[in-house]
Amino acid sequence: MGKPSIAESDRVSALLDAEAKAVSLFDEVIARGIIAPGRSESSVSDAVRDLAVEMFGTQRFWHKRIVRSGVNTLEPFAANPPDRTLGEDDICFLDFGPIFAEWEADFGRTYVLGTDPAKLAIRDALEPLWHRGREHFEADPDITGEQLYDWVVGRARELGWDFTAAIAGHLVGEFPHKQISGTEITSYIAPGSTTPMRRADPTGRACHWILEVHLIDHEGNFGGFFEQLLDLRPAAE
């Protein structure tokens, strides 16, 4: 697809570097108090966009920038709910796909404004479940996207949450990875994705994955979200 040949070790380094920059970006979002009561979702999104330019010169995001709060956290990725203003005792998640030097990152985190126990509980459940999902993936060399999706959904429901998202992750790589992988269901961690996740893409390069956890509290009418690289780990881990 017009991309120069690159060693797999360099691809891995580039993807991990992109995620490290996303971590730094989100850390700075919190340090600057960008997520705050009285701000609209769109203003938070624009502030994160501007911060990415300031910190890294990032001009592009490979998918739409998502800031969801309150009832909007129930909405699927494809939805475009009305712009909402964050409240004093609110929940909010960010899902951003910045491009760093032509490499895609995809990173999502949930934040709670205030001390609502139910909101704190769903926030605190996300990362442990994500890590259990990674452990399950690593334990099965032949696992498919469908099998991992079913496992994550099952564990979420055992913990008392709902999981209504159509996918639990997707391929990630050189921008635009979709020109290589296409939109076939095998590009996703989702029902119907029955090809082993550990495989080469059509160009012969190793597939790399993002794992997403989107938990729903229907009683409270809100949700939470967490995502990051599934199959690659920084050397420090």
At 139 the pLDDT is 98
From CA 153, how far away is CA 147, in angstroms rounded? 10
Bridge partners of 104, per DSSP, are: 99
Contacts of 135 (CB under 8 A, 6+ apart): none
Give the closest residue to 37 by CA, choosing from 87, 107, 100, 95.
87
Residues of the chain with pLDDT under 70: 1-4, 175-183
Q: Report the number of secondary-structure helices (H) and strands (E) in the chain.
A: 5, 8
Domains in the chain (CATH in brackets) are 8-229 (3.90.230.10)
Q: Parallel, antiparallel, or unpaired: how do β-strands 169-172 and 208-217 relate?
A: antiparallel
Long-range contact pairs involving 77-82 (C-beta distance under 8 Å, separation at least 24): 77/165
- For residue 124, the model assigns a pLDDT of 98
pLDDT value at position 2?
44
Per-residue pLDDT at 1: 39
Show the tokens assigned to 233. 């780990």
pLDDT tens column, 151-205: 999 999 999 999 999 999 999 987 655 555 556 899 999 999 999 999 998 888 9
Contact yes or no for 135/129 (Cβ under 8 A): no
